[in-house]
Structure 1
């Protein structure tokens, strides 16, 4: 059990649940349209391998913008696996490119994109970006898409991603207009058990704070659908456009929208506003919800990692040994089936994976679902 006076929670893939197949397809198709707007071929819009997106996306992978490879790293920065388009890169090629053992060092974990270096795909919200990058490489190999240099391609996909998630301009975004037309196609209503647990935590004296990078307009739609019209009553305070992990690094003050809703700001201003010292952050983003709150704010963290369920069928809180030693279960239609291409999210080829190692170092609680995280907080 973990003590906390204030419980801060992320929204997407934490409080908000998505239908994976439908949402991944929306991410891909909307982003591909934005890339085409930048002058690239329409061959990107519907590649024949689009139905295999669940197999090729690995949460925590990164694109090396010098080689065009998508990499999976171990705890010691050695490269466990890599793909060049749809093809796995041989160990011999990795050694020739990256040395023996093949190694790739990440210098700035807070930077999802670093020009001419890398593009990190860390959370399920980056599934579209990862698969657009991979598909562009594959189409280029087949002579169907001109991408220029790998660095140029990565930068254009990153620019298109920013266009796609620009909530202030529907002329740029392809994601928001489609999502707002039919949110129920992509969302799963939250369980009554989770709602009741949130109510119980508040009635026991805990402060519940939503800290999301999403804009308020998007949050309004998804929370109304999953929690009801009175969704704001689940929280003492809502912070939108938080910009994590910069939320823990910058000095920017809050923009106050009303007495319970703020924009942007920083974690120190949040602590001064609420007045408590004992915090826990619950979320699914390796850097913004786990490493940054633990290492910078010195808060406890509860990490929600759905891969625990995808691979092991473990529900709720589990220890590292329970997760690592449990047998793998076959994927079903509701899960991401990355194992065939990428191996385990936990231990692969005898080594802990890069992000799993960080999770173990920075998390007080690890769970496959939100309910497990909430139940781990001491009343």
Structure 2
């Protein structure tokens, strides 16, 4: 076996190109026949944005850091690095380290970055007291922020992670003493200013074509749902003028006719978990009105409010509601855990991830990785020196394969869904807070509105002997593989 990468013959033709990025994946069984009401976030849900937006956010926040916070001019020479960071990473605020953590709170060695450079495994172990485990209380804040560690969960945070890495890199490479906590706070504020001062809204409104993707699909989804008698609502943190301009571009000037309720500047996640702010109505110009809100009417625009009043005024409850959003914490967690709504997570990264998984290179690497792991498991009881030597070679080869498969996704941090064989912390949250997940809402166009999504039954560890054919053949003989091949 040793050193022989599996031949193509080991990979059945149906394995490559098996996954389709237009598929909706189920964590929980959901019948669309039971869903009468569809709710949507706006940014990165109804409106998907091009990568050009990340560059603009980064550049503007970097300039704020220099001009407003008086950071050294040398930081300006760092341009945005498009594929450096990935969603779902954790940042150790006190140590200034960006890293990937798995579902069991273990740091994936090789994915810890100080500035733009990886931190050696030995140093990571030393920094974390001889372990690569991050204690629960540091990362377990419900919205992804523990006292010392912050998890970056939304797509808007990718420029923020990049700016943190760049600023750390500047101070380290120029041997300038600094406090990583101050840096984190300043970068967060600089990024916040881009949003608070409305720069992002202005850029998008000035060049909708450059920044907004998939306009036809958004129209098609909304049109299809309404024509099947479904009720729609929109809850977004963005201001009305911005949403109105984007929706006019994607859907047309009568876009509000599609929605039964439209809520802007909702202040999520607080909208979902406290009952303090009342709804305010906006007039056609977007100006606040002062009348008391006793009903949420079609054709009106509402601001702020809270979910408790929303539920009281609409009567929309439980699993008849399916809400789509991109932020697992701000959009979906409360709705699923406290209110029993169905939730759909929008994960645009699935596009790239499924492309990688469909490559022959990935299929071969994974198949051989699974085979090697099976061999290691069975051969470890052989104690003679020759066997031990072979085992060491196999372990080394397994590490090389893991690195190779990681690099196919992102050379720094790998897949957002996996750390080697374990799910990532992001994956765990995705499974916990979403019933279904997909690359974009346009995936709905591939399914009948009475379709039932059934999650795949995957083996629990104690059931694994029933699935032994997976052990040494990777994904080749996964149950349902042939049947799934038709999903395109």
TM-score higher than 0.5 here? yes
Which of 317, 336, 341 aligns to 1:299? It is 341
Segment drifting more, 217-226 vs 292-301:
217-226
Q: Does 1:186 align with 2:211?
A: yes
- Superposed, which structure 2 residues align to 1:21-40 within 5 Å? 22-36=52-66, 37-40=68-71
Give 1:373 deviation, angstroms.
4.2
Give 1:338 deviation, angstroms.
5.5
2:184 is matched with 154
Find the residue that maps to 2:336 and give its secondary structure: helix
Distance change in 2, residues 1:326/1:361 (3 Å): farther
Give 1:177 deviation, angstroms.
4.2
Q: Does 1:118 align with 2:149?
A: yes
TM value normalised by structure 1: 0.84
**Deviations along 1:240-286, whole A, 9 cap, x unmatched?**
11222222111122122254211121222112222222211111112
Q: Give the structure, 1 or 2, with the largest relative contact order (CA under 8 Å, sep 6 or more).
A: 2
Segment drifting more, 72-81 vs 118-127:
118-127
Give 1:185 deviation, angstroms.
2.2
Retained in 1: the 8 A contact 2:416–2:427? Answer: yes
Alpha-carbon separation, structure 2, partners of 1:56 and 1:351: 22
2:94 is matched with 66
Distance change in 2, residues 1:90/1:134 (3 Å): same
TM value normalised by structure 2: 0.66
Give 1:326 deviation, angstroms.
11
Q: Does 1:141 align with 2:184?
A: no
Find the residue that maps to 1:340 and give its secondary structure: coil
1:55 is matched with 83
Retained in 1: the 8 A contact 2:328–2:434? Answer: no
1:92 is matched with 122
Which of 14, 31, 40 aligns to 1:9? It is 40
Alpha-carbon separation, structure 2, partners of 1:314 and 1:297: 36
Larger Rg: 2
**Deviations along 1:61-104, whole A, 9 cap, x unmatched?**
12211100012110011111211111112222221112444122
Greater share of strand residues, 1 or 2?
A: 1
Distance change in 2, residues 1:314/1:236 (3 Å): farther
Which of 260, 282, 288 aligns to 2:330? It is 288
1:170 is matched with none
Alpha-carbon separation, structure 1, partners of 2:409 and 2:307: 35
Aligned length: 349
Alpha-carbon separation, structure 2, partners of 1:45 and 1:233: 46
Retained in 2: the 8 A contact 1:5–1:276? Answer: no
Give 1:40 deviation, angstroms.
1.2
2:411 is matched with 340
Find the residue that maps to 2:196 and give its secondary structure: coil
Q: Which runs of 5+ in 2 are unaligned?
A: 1-30, 284-296, 358-365, 369-407, 452-488
Q: Which runs of 5+ in 1 are unaligned?
A: 168-172, 316-324, 328-336
Retained in 2: the 8 A contact 1:248–1:297? Answer: no
